[in-house]
Amino acid sequence: MSVSPAVSVAVCQFAPTDSREGNRERIAELVADAAARGARLIVLPEYSSYFVNPMDETLAAHAETLEGDFVQMLIALAGEYAVVIVAGLVEKSDDTHRVRNTVVAVRGDGILAVYRKQHLYDAFGQTESDWVEPGEVGEAATFDLAGLRFGLMTCYDLRFPEVARTLVDAEADVLVVPAEWVRGPLKEHHWTTLLAARAIENTVYVVSADHPAPIGVGHSQIVDPQGVVLAGVGSAEGIAVAPVERAVIDRVRETNPSLRVRRYAVVPR
């Protein structure tokens, strides 16, 4: 039986702003850099197309469709560098006041998967739901690359282990987590602990891309199925690259067959 080759993945930590053009220019630079380092999958943060802090009505004014300039730019970059790109965008919704917090995975021939954030950040004194409508609970958003399956989730979803388990039940080998993990007391600890927990309990890789300080906590990471950080970024902008491998997942699951022996299923409420 053939063994899937290692897939080099990159997490690109940068600070999106209220300049859509400036964000696209920075993304083009990051993708070129990550591709030059050998990455085949390049992950960018939540809200990569447009971001303001605090959130306000400009989100809706600058939202785009999946056919808009931002996604088309990602597709063009993916084709130019022969990579898959995952990034968050502010997507138009039918609600004129609110938007969708959306993540897309694309390659040069189009969109591979779309995920709309299910759990909104109504916590730690913030109310994302004032400006964003939640995504519907439904089929897991996944895509395949080089014999591995990648599943999409977003930021605050990380605090809900059933989201990750639903992706793993859809045979995801790698969880991809674009985020804007807002700074606050112990928030760096929560972020890194939850990334490791989702990897360990599901025996999968977790690939996360966050915003840097001062708004985000940073610490974008590539975590292996035993919770070990293979590569990461500190609190400033930067890129980290590491391989994900089928053989590593298989080896960990042979030693720790927790998925095989579990006795509970995830049921939406």
Residues 6+ apart with CB under 8 A from 25: none
Residue whose C-alpha is closest to residue 156's, from 196, 123, 204 = 123
Catalytic residue (choose from 117, 128, 133, 180): 117
3-class SS letters over 78-110: HHHHCCEEEEEEEECCCCCCCEEEEEEEEECCE
Token pair 């993990």 is found at 181
Residue 117 a catalytic site member: yes
Among residues 12, 46, 64, 133, the one annotated as catalytic is 46
User: Would you put residue 157 in left (φ > 0), alpha (ψ -120 to 50) or beta?
Assistant: alpha
Catalytic residue among 12, 133, 155, 180: 155
> What is the DSSP-derived secondary structure letter of residue 250?
H
Q: Is 155 labeled as catalytic in the residue annotation?
A: yes
Token digits of residue 196: 């490791």
Distance CA 179, CA 145 (A): 22
Instruction: Identify whether the C-beta of residue 168 lies closer than 8 Å to the C-beta of residue 259.
Output: yes
Residues catalogued as catalytic:
46, 117, 155
